[in-house]
Structure 1
């Protein structure tokens, strides 16, 4: 019978909504909302009952060192500061010492910045230095067109003219030919020279990369030094303003938020 009862469609249950005349009070509270509110209310009431019982069971002779540094006024706990306010003369002296320390650190950062800027500029100038060029003057344009650098220099290797090194002369090649070296020895010597040149080029590339990384680190460190120098300058300026206000030689803002300016007597 229960299965037949479940097979028949029943009327859907609908909760009552908030009437239109009470729509200004918000959504109508349902039973689940009331259950949560009642549960929270009962928990608070239970906590208050426990605290009340704890206050009744409290020992009147109980002592705590916090009682020496705090007071109570009509049940409200009022804390007392443990330190005493400093006098105006002592505060002025401390401000003076702070300014001296800030100025000392500012000088240190300035020297560091100048040294780093010189290193960065020198490194940049080394990169911009161009290779030296050998200039030869000729008589006219025809002689310029027919000019051959290898013949004028007297070298047997025309490809080595663009390289920054001493040019091998023809007489040196003659001296080398006098040793009666065979073809195998010459080929081995050329291969060794080529390997040496490739190794030198590889070392030069590695050195350039190291210099570039060092330059990048130096530039980043310089940016940090500049930022610290800027912060110290701001701190020095702020301390100077505070000292001026304490000595009464500069304006400020009173407790009402009104700006004022100290007017000096005309001389």
Structure 2
């Protein structure tokens, strides 16, 4: 019985004490679980430093790899050599001139395609086309009140809303104007919508190329620091080129 009591006494849970009140100004007392985490972190960093030190000692000073050509160390700091640093000022200017010529050729090509599309479409079926007006002159207010527009235009009243392709009654009676197949009209409308979408995209692309061309021309003008503007009226944005004020120069 006494041995059992002694065994129960030996299984007592020993708790870590808290920070004494006299030392409460020092904060919480570190427990064993906190010390273990701090020790693990310290040992891990120590091991990493040992591995790096060993790698530095084992490094061959005569070692060479091809990336050394495009990189260098200045005051112990690694730097990458840019491609432009290997080119002269004249070579950089020539490359930028070639880029400007490429932009000019692309914009010219876009303008030609744009003019060709506009000549075919004429904005007849566009949804945001301007509203046309047709003025009819009469002699009196009574004639204006009694005016039958369909009879005046010699067409059917259902066709008055059309601004184009509006046949006369005589053409309808003689059979010159034949109704179009609905499936064919649906296909035509689809192709027309596709053409207008392409027109909108090309107009947007031509505008972006125009802004890019203006930006590159201004950069070429400012290159070298000879032509400095007096002040900047408008900063450069994604959709517009910068606006500068230049000094007045008398031409001889």
TM-score after normalising by structure 1? 0.52
Higher normalized helix content (fraction of residues)? 1
Aligned residue in 2 for 1:129: 165
Q: CA deviation at 1:59?
A: 3.7
1:112 equivalent to 2:113? Answer yes
Q: CA deviation at 1:85?
A: 2.9
1:221 equivalent to 2:222? Answer no
- Would you say the 8 A contact 1:241–1:250 is kept in 2? no
- Would you say the 8 A contact 1:252–1:261 is kept in 2? yes
1:237 equivalent to 2:214? Answer yes
Aligned partner of residue 227 in structure 2, secondary structure: coil
Distance 2:35 2:172 in 1: 94
Distance 1:205 1:71 in 2: 72
Distance 2:166 2:25 in 1: 89
Distance 1:28 1:124 in 2: 83
- Would you say the 8 A contact 2:230–2:247 is kept in 1? no
Q: CA deviation at 1:211?
A: 0.6
Unmatched tracts of structure 1, length 5 or more: 2-12, 135-162, 168-199, 254-259
Q: CA deviation at 1:44?
A: 1.7
Distance 1:92 1:66 in 2: 27
Deviations 1:3-26 (A, max 9, x none): xxxxxxxxxx9x979x9x979x9x
State how 1:66-215 maps to structure 2 within 5 Å.
66-73=67-74, 75-81=76-82, 84-88=86-90, 90-121=91-122, 124=125, 128-134=164-170, 164=172, 166=174, 204-215=181-192
Distance 2:203 2:29 in 1: 64
State the aligned residue count: 184
Distance 2:181 2:196 in 1: 22
Aligned residue in 2 for 1:160: none
- Structure 1 vs Structure 2 CA RMSD: 4.2
Q: Which has the larger radius of gyration?
A: 1
Are residues 115 and 67 of structure 1, via their aligned partners in 2, closer, same or farther at CA, if it must alter by over 3 Å?
closer
Q: CA deviation at 1:35?
A: 4.2
Unmatched tracts of structure 2, length 5 or more: 5-14, 127-161, 232-243
Aligned partner of residue 219 in structure 1, secondary structure: helix
